[in-house]
Protein backbone atom coordinates (compact mmCIF):
# COMPACT_ATOMS: atom_id res chain seq x y z
CA UNK A 1 0.00 0.00 0.00
CA UNK A 2 1.26 3.46 -0.95
CA UNK A 3 2.20 5.32 2.21
CA UNK A 4 4.55 7.95 3.48
CA UNK A 5 5.24 9.09 7.04
CA UNK A 6 2.44 11.63 7.23
CA UNK A 7 -0.21 10.23 4.92
CA UNK A 8 -2.25 7.04 4.93
CA UNK A 9 -3.60 5.93 1.57
CA UNK A 10 -7.39 6.02 1.23
CA UNK A 11 -7.78 5.50 -2.53
CA UNK A 12 -4.82 3.91 -4.38
CA UNK A 13 -3.63 5.36 -7.70
CA UNK A 14 -4.74 2.22 -9.56
CA UNK A 15 -8.35 2.62 -8.34
CA UNK A 16 -8.36 6.27 -9.37
CA UNK A 17 -6.97 5.46 -12.82
CA UNK A 18 -9.60 2.76 -13.39
CA UNK A 19 -12.49 5.10 -12.52
CA UNK A 20 -11.04 7.98 -14.55
CA UNK A 21 -10.64 5.70 -17.57
CA UNK A 22 -14.26 4.56 -17.34
CA UNK A 23 -15.44 8.14 -16.91
CA UNK A 24 -13.51 9.22 -20.04
CA UNK A 25 -14.98 6.31 -21.99
CA UNK A 26 -18.53 7.29 -21.00
CA UNK A 27 -17.92 10.94 -21.91
CA UNK A 28 -16.35 9.94 -25.25
CA UNK A 29 -19.52 8.04 -26.15
CA UNK A 30 -22.02 10.57 -24.84
CA UNK A 31 -20.34 13.70 -26.27
CA UNK A 32 -19.28 12.23 -29.62
CA UNK A 33 -21.40 14.65 -31.69
CA UNK A 34 -21.18 17.58 -29.29
CA UNK A 35 -19.08 20.65 -28.78
CA UNK A 36 -17.33 19.62 -25.59
CA UNK A 37 -15.78 22.22 -23.30
CA UNK A 38 -14.30 21.35 -19.91
CA UNK A 39 -14.15 23.98 -17.20
CA UNK A 40 -11.68 22.82 -14.56
CA UNK A 41 -11.86 24.37 -11.12
CA UNK A 42 -8.37 25.34 -10.00
CA UNK A 43 -6.27 24.38 -8.40
CA UNK A 44 -7.49 21.02 -7.14
CA UNK A 45 -8.89 19.62 -10.39
CA UNK A 46 -5.71 19.98 -12.45
CA UNK A 47 -4.54 16.37 -12.04
CA UNK A 48 -7.97 14.79 -12.51
CA UNK A 49 -8.71 16.91 -15.60
CA UNK A 50 -5.29 16.16 -17.11
CA UNK A 51 -5.74 12.41 -16.72
CA UNK A 52 -9.37 12.55 -17.89
CA UNK A 53 -8.76 14.40 -21.18
CA UNK A 54 -5.83 12.15 -22.09
CA UNK A 55 -8.16 9.14 -21.96
CA UNK A 56 -10.75 10.73 -24.26
CA UNK A 57 -11.23 9.53 -27.81
CA UNK A 58 -13.06 12.71 -28.91
CA UNK A 59 -11.90 16.32 -29.25
CA UNK A 60 -12.53 18.89 -26.54
CA UNK A 61 -11.61 22.38 -25.41
CA UNK A 62 -10.38 23.26 -21.93
CA UNK A 63 -10.83 26.32 -19.77
CA UNK A 64 -10.37 27.08 -16.07
CA UNK A 65 -11.91 28.97 -13.19
CA UNK A 66 -10.47 29.42 -9.75
CA UNK A 67 -12.52 29.52 -6.61
CA UNK A 68 -11.36 29.70 -3.03
CA UNK A 69 -13.38 28.87 0.04
CA UNK A 70 -10.76 27.23 2.21
CA UNK A 71 -7.80 29.60 2.53
CA UNK A 72 -4.80 27.54 3.55
CA UNK A 73 -6.27 25.45 6.34
CA UNK A 74 -8.80 22.65 6.59
CA UNK A 75 -11.88 24.57 7.69
CA UNK A 76 -14.13 26.37 5.22
CA UNK A 77 -14.31 30.15 5.51
CA UNK A 78 -17.96 29.98 4.44
CA UNK A 79 -17.75 32.36 1.48
CA UNK A 80 -16.72 31.59 -2.08
CA UNK A 81 -14.41 33.96 -3.98
CA UNK A 82 -14.05 33.69 -7.73
CA UNK A 83 -10.34 34.45 -8.15
CA UNK A 84 -10.26 33.65 -11.87
CA UNK A 85 -13.20 33.57 -14.23
CA UNK A 86 -13.30 31.89 -17.63
CA UNK A 87 -13.39 34.76 -20.10
CA UNK A 88 -14.90 32.82 -22.95
CA UNK A 89 -18.42 32.50 -24.26
CA UNK A 90 -20.18 29.23 -23.47
CA UNK A 91 -22.84 29.61 -26.15
CA UNK A 92 -23.05 26.51 -28.31
CA UNK A 93 -20.87 24.45 -25.97
CA UNK A 94 -21.70 21.36 -23.97
CA UNK A 95 -19.90 22.21 -20.77
CA UNK A 96 -18.57 19.77 -18.20
CA UNK A 97 -17.38 21.37 -14.97
CA UNK A 98 -14.61 19.30 -13.38
CA UNK A 99 -13.99 19.60 -9.63
CA UNK A 100 -11.70 17.80 -7.21
CA UNK A 101 -14.09 17.45 -4.26
CA UNK A 102 -17.52 18.61 -3.11
CA UNK A 103 -17.67 19.43 0.57
CA UNK A 104 -20.28 21.97 1.69
CA UNK A 105 -21.39 22.36 -1.94
CA UNK A 106 -21.06 26.16 -1.88
CA UNK A 107 -18.31 26.43 -4.49
CA UNK A 108 -20.11 24.41 -7.13
CA UNK A 109 -23.49 25.89 -6.36
CA UNK A 110 -22.09 29.34 -7.07
CA UNK A 111 -20.09 28.31 -10.14
CA UNK A 112 -22.97 26.33 -11.66
CA UNK A 113 -25.29 29.30 -11.28
CA UNK A 114 -22.72 31.62 -12.89
CA UNK A 115 -22.10 29.31 -15.82
CA UNK A 116 -25.75 28.41 -16.40
CA UNK A 117 -26.55 32.13 -16.74
CA UNK A 118 -24.16 32.21 -19.75
CA UNK A 119 -26.50 29.82 -21.59
CA UNK A 120 -24.32 26.89 -22.62
CA UNK A 121 -25.95 24.21 -24.75
CA UNK A 122 -25.76 21.94 -21.69
CA UNK A 123 -24.02 21.97 -18.32
CA UNK A 124 -22.95 19.06 -16.18
CA UNK A 125 -20.74 18.70 -13.11
CA UNK A 126 -18.30 15.84 -12.53
CA UNK A 127 -16.35 15.58 -9.30
CA UNK A 128 -13.60 13.18 -8.38
CA UNK A 129 -14.63 13.03 -4.71
CA UNK A 130 -17.80 13.77 -2.80
CA UNK A 131 -18.36 14.15 0.94
CA UNK A 132 -22.18 14.06 1.03
CA UNK A 133 -22.37 14.17 4.85
CA UNK A 134 -20.75 17.64 4.83
CA UNK A 135 -23.31 19.36 2.59
CA UNK A 136 -24.73 22.68 3.84
CA UNK A 137 -26.46 23.71 0.60
CA UNK A 138 -28.71 21.77 -1.74
CA UNK A 139 -26.26 20.79 -4.46
CA UNK A 140 -25.38 17.49 -6.05
CA UNK A 141 -23.00 16.65 -8.89
CA UNK A 142 -24.20 14.79 -11.97
CA UNK A 143 -21.42 12.32 -11.37
CA UNK A 144 -18.96 11.66 -8.57
CA UNK A 145 -16.23 9.05 -8.96
CA UNK A 146 -15.76 8.33 -5.25
CA UNK A 147 -17.97 9.08 -2.27
CA UNK A 148 -16.02 9.39 0.99
CA UNK A 149 -16.68 9.94 4.70
CA UNK A 150 -16.04 13.21 6.49
CA UNK A 151 -12.24 13.09 6.26
CA UNK A 152 -9.79 15.76 5.15
CA UNK A 153 -8.02 14.24 2.17
CA UNK A 154 -4.97 15.20 0.11
CA UNK A 155 -3.19 14.10 -3.03
CA UNK A 156 -4.08 13.77 -6.73
CA UNK A 157 -4.41 17.57 -6.92
CA UNK A 158 -5.84 18.18 -3.43
CA UNK A 159 -3.78 20.07 -0.91
CA UNK A 160 -3.38 20.88 2.74
CA UNK A 161 -1.69 24.29 2.99
CA UNK A 162 -0.57 23.90 -0.67
CA UNK A 163 1.22 20.63 0.07
CA UNK A 164 0.65 17.05 -1.15
CA UNK A 165 -0.98 17.91 -4.52
CA UNK A 166 1.68 15.82 -6.28
CA UNK A 167 0.80 12.50 -4.63
CA UNK A 168 -0.61 10.04 -7.18
CA UNK A 169 -3.15 8.66 -4.68
CA UNK A 170 -5.77 10.08 -2.29
CA UNK A 171 -4.61 9.98 1.31
CA UNK A 172 -5.60 11.07 4.78
CA UNK A 173 -3.31 13.14 6.99
CA UNK A 174 -2.23 11.22 10.07
CA UNK A 175 -2.87 13.06 13.32
Q: Which residues are designated catalytic?
A: 103
CA pair distance 159, 155, nearest whole angstrom: 6
Q: Work out how close the CB of 92 gets to ligand IMP at its nearest, in angstroms, rounded to a whole number.
A: 27
**44 forms part of the interface with Mg ion (CB under 5 A):** yes
Output 31 or 145, the one with its CB closest to ligand IMP.
Answer: 145
Q: Work out how close the CB of 101 gets to ligand IMP at its nearest, in angstroms, rounded to a whole number.
A: 5
**CA-to-CA dists, residue 41 to 33, 54, 57, 166, angstroms:** 25, 17, 22, 17
Q: Work out how close the CB of 157 gets to Mg ion at its nearest, in angstroms, rounded to a whole number.
A: 8
Binding site for ligand IMP (CB under 6 A): 44, 69-70, 76, 99-107, 152-154, 158
Helix axes 46-54, 13-30, angle to 10 degrees: 60
Output 31 or 153, the one with its CB closest to Mg ion.
Answer: 153
CA angle 142, 148, 7 (to 5 degrees): 130
Nearest to 80 by CA among 36, 58, 112: 112
Output 53 or 129, the one with its CB closest to ligand IMP.
Answer: 129
**40 forms part of the interface with Mg ion (CB under 5 A):** no
Amino acid sequence: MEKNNEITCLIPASDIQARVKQCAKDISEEYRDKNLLFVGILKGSFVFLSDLVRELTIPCEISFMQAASYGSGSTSSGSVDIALDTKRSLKGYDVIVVEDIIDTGRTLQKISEMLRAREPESLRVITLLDKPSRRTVDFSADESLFSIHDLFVVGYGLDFGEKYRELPYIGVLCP
